[in-house]
């Protein structure tokens, strides 16, 4: 484990691999290189009508990279539907260092002054690798995903990697592709530099939803 550095993590992503742990108590990491990969095409992102209404209500405040440590620890926390997690202490440490280096980002959803949902992931070239999300309030993680997609579209990103396909992500248009196809898309995305901060940090719901509607 001591030989794995943030730089090695980035090199792994660039060739299609990512790290996981068997459990939060496991001190080791292993590399995952799936035969099939989940991606969310940015030009086919679907926002359900009910979620659009929730976003337009602007009951939630969206922030970017203000509480990364809280987000990743919330993603690692045990839940009733998930008694264990793949996020162990080495991952917490490595991704916190990647955040400090500017390669890891968090989208945070706040309500009444409290963090109620969010997600985090790695940015490399014009590829974003979604790692994990959490929610303490209905729709919070979904809202984080919508704001992430708008930020990626505005920033010129070409690839949103979800790693796996879940029923939750299918609702937004996530598809599964073969490893060879994924590696081709990844290589193309790494040739271009995306700008994660191209979209204003205080972008409102109308701007976010318009960006998505123009692309989808």
Q: What is the pLDDT of residues 23-46, one digit of tens each?
A: 888 889 999 999 999 999 999 999
List CB contacts of 132: < 8 A, sequence separation 6 or more. 72, 75, 76, 87, 119, 120
- In this predicted structure, what is the pLDDT of residue 1? 43
Query: How far is residue 103 from each of residues 13, 22, 112, measured CA to CA in Å?
Result: 12, 24, 29
Confidence (pTM): 0.95
Q: Report residue 27 as tokens.
A: 């001190």
Every domain of the chain and the residues it spans:
6-215
* Per-residue pLDDT at 17 exceeds 90: yes
Q: What is the pLDDT of residues 177-191, one digit of tens each?
A: 999 999 999 999 999
d(CA 48, CA 205): 14
- Please answer whether residues 67 and 120 qualify as being in contact, where contact means their C-beta atoms are separated by less than 8 angstroms: no
Mean pLDDT of 38-57: 95
Cα dihedral value 8, 76, 104, 160, nearest 10: 90
- In this predicted structure, what is the pLDDT of residue 23? 84
Alpha-carbon torsion 6, 69, 116, 63, what sign? negative
Q: What is the pLDDT of residues 57-107, one digit of tens each?
A: 999 999 999 999 999 999 998 665 555 678 999 999 999 999 999 999 999
CATH architecture of 6-215: 3-Layer(aba) Sandwich (3.40)
> Shortest CA distance to 147 belongs to which of 200, 71, 216?
200
Q: What is the pLDDT of residues 101-150, one digit of tens each?
A: 999 999 999 999 999 999 999 999 999 999 999 999 999 999 999 999 99
List CB contacts of 48: < 8 A, sequence separation 6 or more. 171
- In this predicted structure, what is the pLDDT of residue 183? 98
pLDDT band at 3 (very low <50, low <70, confident <90, very high): confident
CA 27 to the chain's CA centroid: 24
Beta bridge partners of 30: 20
d(CA 150, CA 210): 9
């Amino acid at each position: 484990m001591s030989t794995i550095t943030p730089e090695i993590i980035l090199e792994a992503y660039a060739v299609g691999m990512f790290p996981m742990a068997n459990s939060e108590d496991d001190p080791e990491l292993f590399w995952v290189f799936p035969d099939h990969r989940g991606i969310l095409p940015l030009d086919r992102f679907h926002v359900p009508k009910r979620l659009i209404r929730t976003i337009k209500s602007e009951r939630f405040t969206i922030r970017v990279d203000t509480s990364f440590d809280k987000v990743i620890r919330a993603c690692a926390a045990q839940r009733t539907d998930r008694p264990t997690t793949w996020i162990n202490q080495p991952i917490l440490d490595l991704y916190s260092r990647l955040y400090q280096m500017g390669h890891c980002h968090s989208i945070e959803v706040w309500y009444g002054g409290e963090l109620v949902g969010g997600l985090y992931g790695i940015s490399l070239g014009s590829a974003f690798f979604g790692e994990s999300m959490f929610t303490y309030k209905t729709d919070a993680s979904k809202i984080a995903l919508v704001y992430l997609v708008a930020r990626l579209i505005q920033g010129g990103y070409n690839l949103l990697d979800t790693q796996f396909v879940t029923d939750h992500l299918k609702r937004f248009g996530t598809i599964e592709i073969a490893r060879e196809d994924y590696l081709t898309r990844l290589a193309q995305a790494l040739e271009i530099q995306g700008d994660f901060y191209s979209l204003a940090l205080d972008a409102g719901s109308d701007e976010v939803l318009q960006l998505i509607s123009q692309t989808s």
